[in-house]
Amino acid sequence: MKKIKLIALDMDGTLLNDDGVVSPYTHDIIQQALAQGTEVVLSTGRPLPMCSTFAEELKLPSYIITSNGAEIWTVNHELIDRHPLEVEQIKRLWQLGYERNLHMWIVATDQVFVNRQRPENFEDHVWLKLGYGNLTEKVKRDLLSDLEHIEEIEITNSSLTNLEVNRAGVNKANAINFICKRLNISMEEVMAIGDSLNDLKMIEQAGIGVAVKNAQQLIIESADYVTETNNDNGVAKAIEKYVLD
């Protein structure tokens, strides 16, 4: 096994405990990894304004992957890469949810619209992601059937009761690959930790793919290793096992 040079961390349900914070123990272990020269990158479905404070808190030195890989930023908020949805795609996606009276959130580069809100003109924004929430299994199946008719999109989730839609080819694994090339690191030298379907590809493609114990079943089955839950310092324990000297 190659030495791990980069750790990619999902946030919700993984790095953050159920109170939405990084535990002091996990914070300390991440600092130890950074001190020995290991890159640590947040890889999240959140947009930048909802995750940058955590990067600052952890004193991360390099990159943040946001909106499931639709954007890559430096920790100094310099945009490195962006893959937006087409305006016609976001219109169709929003209309699907509106017709079904679904809870939705749509993420633009400059604003997040929630609770079925929409902009006056979709054309006035650059769109990164749309999410449908509070879904029953039947509604989810019906919605997936309809989404199949929209071309060039990538569908994942960040919990069992939602679906998230990005542009085709947008995922955390591709974003990590992009960063690896900049850092001259191979995917074999990456450890990725997550809990949901938007983490699946990075867990599959990383040298070590780790699922927290509270992860969705498919993530657990796809991982090389299952660590403790997000409430039991699972991220820290995986770093101790595979990264710290």
Closest C-alpha among 28, 5, 1 to residue 235: 28
pLDDT value at position 114?
A: 94
State the catalytic residues: 10
What type of residue sits at position 184?
N
Treating both helix axes as pointing N-terminal to C-terminal, what angle do 24-35 and 234-242 enclose, rounded to 10 degrees?
A: 30
**3-state SS assignment for residue 127:** strand
What confidence tier does 2 reach under pLDDT thresholds 50, 70, 90?
Answer: confident
pLDDT value at position 109?
A: 98
For the entire predicted model, the pTM comes to 0.97
What confidence tier does 183 reach under pLDDT thresholds 50, 70, 90?
Answer: very high
Question: Domains of the chain by range and CATH?
Answer: 6-82+171-242 (3.40.50.1000), 87-167 (3.30.1240.10)
For the chain, the maximum distance between any two Cα atoms, rounded to a whole number of angstroms, is 55
Closest C-alpha among 220, 232, 225 to residue 210: 225
Measured between alpha carbons, how far is residue 15 from residues 6, 64, 90, 181, 238 in Å?
15, 14, 30, 25, 11
Give the model confidence (pLDDT) of 131-167 as tens digits. Answer: 999 999 999 999 999 999 999 999 999 999 999 999 9
Say if residue 1's pLDDT is above 80. no
Looking at 50-158, list the stretches that DSSP marks H as alpha helix, in order from N- to C-terminal side: 52-57, 87-99, 137-147
